[in-house]
């Protein structure tokens, strides 16, 4: 983990209220599922903002995708290219890719929870047969779907669902996941990697618990964070024993069975 002064190379609207930012961090590596804490310049936002790492290139270029939801991210969206930002990371426990080795790898994303799964998919295609990797991606409508072209280029199985039916199947992405698991693939060992809204993650946890061929179900949890270092304990969730664990330190990725009801 490093606290780096990183130059903004790109900060532009992707679509709707989603923005893509690339930063010259100079880092060599990260584990997909880890995140960064970004300081918003100008002194208007005291606390840094957490963002999942979408990917990190061989040249040390860090990419994040964020949604403007409040004053901090609104201020961040107007910071010009060339500005230096303080970026702390990579932080936290990422996905354990080794648990997917030899299995069908099932990635499930909701909304802009897709960002951490981009780097994960890029890592998986280096290790696995692309035909054994499937992405299930759901959003409210087509305008909220991100990185589709990048996933298509990877040549992995792509299963899209939108609530209004504007692209892919109409309905919830978890319904498409259930159909998939009931197909012949259900007879093969599978690993689930998921990131998105709590409601979706809770549904995936129940789906995995009922399917004996799911050997590992890894959930990337979201939570409000103040420090990102495990000091303030402001991002806790309950584990299966009723203890509080920190999303920033013990997570953000947890085995589903390690968590209490989401």
Q: For residue 107, with 0-12 CB atoms within 10 Å meaning exposed, 13-18 middle and 19 or more buried, which class applies?
A: buried
pLDDT exceeds 70 at position 121 = yes
**What confidence score (pLDDT) does residue 128 get?**
83
**What confidence score (pLDDT) does residue 186 get?**
56
pLDDT exceeds 70 at position 116 = yes
**What confidence score (pLDDT) does residue 99 get?**
78
Q: What percent of the chain has pLDDT over 70?
A: 97
Could you tell me the two tokens for 180? Answer: 């998939």
* Range 234-245 average pLDDT: 88
Among candidates 104, 74, 122, which has minimal Cα distance to 177? 104
- Cβ pair 38, 27 in contact under 8 A: no
- Cβ pair 194, 52 in contact under 8 A: no
For 149-198, how does the pLDDT look when each residue is reduced to its tens digit (9 = 90+)? Answer: 999 999 999 999 999 999 999 999 999 999 999 886 557 889 999 999 99
């Amino acid at each position: 983990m490093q606290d780096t002064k990183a130059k903004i190379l790109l900060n532009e609207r992707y679509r709707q209220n989603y923005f893509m930012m690339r930063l010259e961090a100079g880092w060599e590596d990260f584990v997909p599922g880890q995140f960064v804490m970004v300081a918003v310049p100008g002194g208007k936002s005291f606390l840094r903002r957490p963002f999942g790492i979408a990917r990190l290139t061989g040249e040390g270029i860090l990419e994040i995708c964020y949604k403007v939801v409040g004053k901090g991210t609104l201020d961040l969206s107007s910071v010009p290219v060339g500005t230096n930002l303080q970026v702390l990371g990579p932080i936290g426990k990422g996905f354990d890719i080794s648990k997917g080795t030899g299995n069908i790898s099932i990635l499930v994303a909701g909304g802009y929870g897709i960002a951490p799964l981009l780097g994960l998919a890029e890592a998986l295609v280096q290790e696995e047969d692309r035909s054994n990797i499937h992405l299930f991606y759901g959003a409210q409508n087509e305008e909220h779907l991100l990185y589709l072209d990048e996933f298509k280029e990877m040549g992995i199985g792509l299963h899209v669902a939108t609530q209004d039916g504007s692209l892919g199947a109409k309905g919830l992405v978890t319904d498409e996941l259930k159909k998939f698991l009931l197909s012949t693939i259900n007879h093969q060992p599978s690993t689930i990697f998921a990131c998105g809204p709590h409601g979706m993650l809770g549904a995936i946890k129940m789906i995995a618990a009922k399917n004996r061929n799911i050997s590992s179900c890894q959930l990337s949890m979201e939570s409000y964070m103040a420090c990102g270092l495990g000091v303030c304990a402001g991002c806790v969730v309950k584990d299966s024993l009723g203890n509080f664990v920190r999303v920033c330190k013990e997570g953000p990725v947890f085995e589903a069975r390690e968590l209490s009801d989401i």
